[in-house]
Amino acid sequence: MPFLPLIAHRHPDAVMAWRGGMPVSVRRFLGEVEYIAGQLPLGQNVLNLCGDRYRFTVALAACIVSGRVSLLPSTHTPEMVRQMQRIAPDVFCIVDKKDGGVDLTTFRYPESIPPLTANFVVPGIAGEQIVAQVFTSGSSGVPVPHVKRWGNLVRNARAGAARLGIGAGHAVLGTVPPQHMYGLEATVLMPLQSGAALHAGRPFYPADICTALEELPRPRVLVTTPYHLRVLLADQTLSPVADRLLSATAPLPQDLAREAEARFGVSLHEIYGCTETGQLASRHTAAGAEWQTLPDVRVRREGQIIWAEGGHLDKPIRLTDVIELTGNDTASDTFLLYGRHADQVNIAGKRTSLAYLNHQLHTIPGVQDGVFLLPREDSPERVGRLAALVVAPGFTPAALVRALRERIDPVFLPRPLLFVDALPRNATGKLPGQFTQDLQASLEARSSTGMAA
């Protein structure tokens, strides 16, 4: 595999980032990359905890040009950090705050950088070079690493940018962290490999998202999730302005996609992929349910197993989702997605999915958030009832059950239905499984003793 450039920007004075409302040039970026690469401590493996997206990108690039590997776990809890130490005993972390909160050898991103070299040389990186390891949850609780090579990441980022029409002149704002695979691909690698500029922030609250968008020149790209999008659209006092919308990490209901397009006046596209594969396909959700794979990627059926292959993938990778091929019975570049096998529910001979049930729950006016849950492994109701955690001030359990009964089959009505003030969503809007299970167990215990939930 040939050497591939670190960035696609062709001019040293081109803008590659926006930080604090100010542009950052390619020349400055490359100078900071060179400086940080020369300051890093010994160690081959790195945990990049920078919260500032620009600093994260500089640190990532510094690791790449110095031959280091960035470890990108799904969380940064103390237990996960210990797991990273077991996997890579030489791991150190890079932080951009005084207290990184991690018990590792730590390099703090400097507040000031010495005068930069005037040279303008874009580093070339070997396509075979391992630049990152991303992790999925193993069945035994041990994170499973997935190697990411530079060539595969570059081909994937370029294909995604081409599909979405993102290139030089675009400015990209993300509500998702760069340490997440979707955030890494869409808000870091895609700008670097398309000539676009990234925004250094990671706004969460609707007003902050609007303020961050206003800091950027147009055309603007908002990279977000269904959860963040729903919260943003719920605030009718704001008028966010973006020229492209991109969503991933969870199924996007078609009505939410249409509402977003009506509010922004632009198209919204959804990305499908997973940690193991990266981006695989996209769709214009408001226009239809069918997915179109990225160039040269296809999905193939082998018995009951679905494989993704071609394009940026070196080898076929098994997918864990329920997929129907639409172009051909055995191999296709178009498909329908019905959710993950683990989300399928079969009660009393009737089938549905957690994604469908969650969608119906969210369509009830007054429900701010909520999630259906399979019975816990240690629950006596393991083969019986679903549970649900709901944020719905003003509702009584009986009223909410009546509203659900109009939307779903009675066998899927949740028992128990537990009301909470908020759900423990992470930075990508997902609900960490262990947190949800712990919360469910705690509320069930309080309910069984007659305490208010």
Separation between Cα atoms, residue 78 and residue 93, nearest integer Å: 13
Contact, 416 vs 444, CB < 8 A?
yes
Among 197, 223, 249, the domain-final residue is 223
Q: What percent of the chain has pLDDT over 90?
A: 63
Does residue 72 belong to any structural domain of this protein?
yes
**What are 279's two structure tokens?**
């981006």
Radius of gyration of the chain (CA): 23
Does residue 438 belong to any structural domain of this protein?
yes
Whether residue 383 has pLDDT greater than 70: no
Contacts with 411 (C-beta within 8 Å, 6 or more apart), sequence order: 347, 348, 350
Q: What is the pLDDT of residues 252-306, one digit of tens each?
A: 889 999 999 999 999 999 999 998 999 999 999 999 999 999 999 999 999 889 9
Strand 22-25 to strand 69-72: parallel, antiparallel, or no bridges (unpaired)?
Answer: unpaired
Whether residue 337 has pLDDT greater than 80: yes
Q: What is the pLDDT of residues 80-112, one digit of tens each?
A: 888 899 999 999 999 998 766 678 899 999 999
Chain centroid to CA 271 = 10
Contact, 62 vs 49, CB < 8 A?
no
User: pLDDT-derived band of residue 378, with 50, 70 and 90 as boundaries?
Assistant: very low
Could you write out the DSSP letters of every residue in 59-115? HHHHHHHTT-EEEE-S---HHHHHHHHHH-TT-EEEESSS----SS-EEEPPSS-PP
Separation between Cα atoms, residue 70 and residue 93, nearest integer Å: 9
- Domain interval for residue 362: 348-448
Which own/partner contact pairs does 261-269 have at CB distance under 8 Å and 24+ positions apart? 261/286, 263/233, 264/240, 266/242, 269/164, 269/244, 269/245
- Among residues 2, 6, 24, the alpha carbon closest in space to that of 121 is found at 6
Whether residue 380 has pLDDT greater than 50: no
**Angle in degrees, 0-180, between the axes of helices 206-214 and 226-234, rounded to the nearest 10:** 90
User: pLDDT-derived band of residue 21, with 50, 70 and 90 as boundaries?
Assistant: very high
Contacts with 407 (C-beta within 8 Å, 6 or more apart), sequence order: 360, 363, 364
Q: Are residues 48 and 189 in the same domain?
A: yes
Distances 350 to 53, 114, 445 between C-alpha atoms, Å = 46, 66, 29
Contact, 175 vs 228, CB < 8 A?
yes
Separation between Cα atoms, residue 452 and residue 211, nearest integer Å: 39
Separation between Cα atoms, residue 313 and residue 84, nearest integer Å: 25
- Among residues 274, 48, 272, the alpha carbon closest in space to that of 177 is found at 48
Among 223, 251, 286, the domain-final residue is 223
Bridge partners of 126, per DSSP, are: 3
Does residue 265 belong to any structural domain of this protein?
no
Separation between Cα atoms, residue 252 and residue 370, nearest integer Å: 15
Q: Are residues 206 and 69 in the same domain?
A: yes
CB atoms within 10 A of CB 1: 14
Q: Are residues 203 and 352 in the same domain?
A: no
Does residue 421 belong to any structural domain of this protein?
yes
Indicate yes or no: pTM above 0.85: no
CATH for 366? 3.30.300.30
Give the mean pLDDT of the chain.
Answer: 88
**What are 330's two structure tokens?**
């055995």
Contacts with 58 (C-beta within 8 Å, 6 or more apart), sequence order: 29, 32, 33, 36, 109
Separation between Cα atoms, residue 249 and residue 97, nearest integer Å: 27
Does residue 90 belong to any structural domain of this protein?
yes
Does residue 254 belong to any structural domain of this protein?
no
Q: What is the pLDDT of residues 140-174, one digit of tens each?
A: 567 889 999 999 999 999 999 999 999 999 999 99
Q: Are residues 215 and 66 in the same domain?
A: yes
CATH for 118? 3.40.50.12780
Does residue 367 belong to any structural domain of this protein?
yes
Whether residue 329 has pLDDT greater than 80: no
**What are 375's two structure tokens?**
């019975």
Q: Are residues 210 and 354 in the same domain?
A: no
Whether residue 377 has pLDDT greater than 60: no
Among 223, 251, 267, the domain-final residue is 223
Q: What is the pLDDT of residues 315-326, one digit of tens each?
A: 999 998 889 999
Position 116, amino acid: L
Separation between Cα atoms, residue 246 and residue 173, nearest integer Å: 10
Strand 321-325 to strand 334-340: parallel, antiparallel, or no bridges (unpaired)?
Answer: antiparallel
Does residue 390 belong to any structural domain of this protein?
yes
Separation between Cα atoms, residue 17 and residue 196, nearest integer Å: 8
pLDDT, residue 450, reads 45
Tell me how many domains the chain contains. 2
pLDDT, residue 384, reads 57
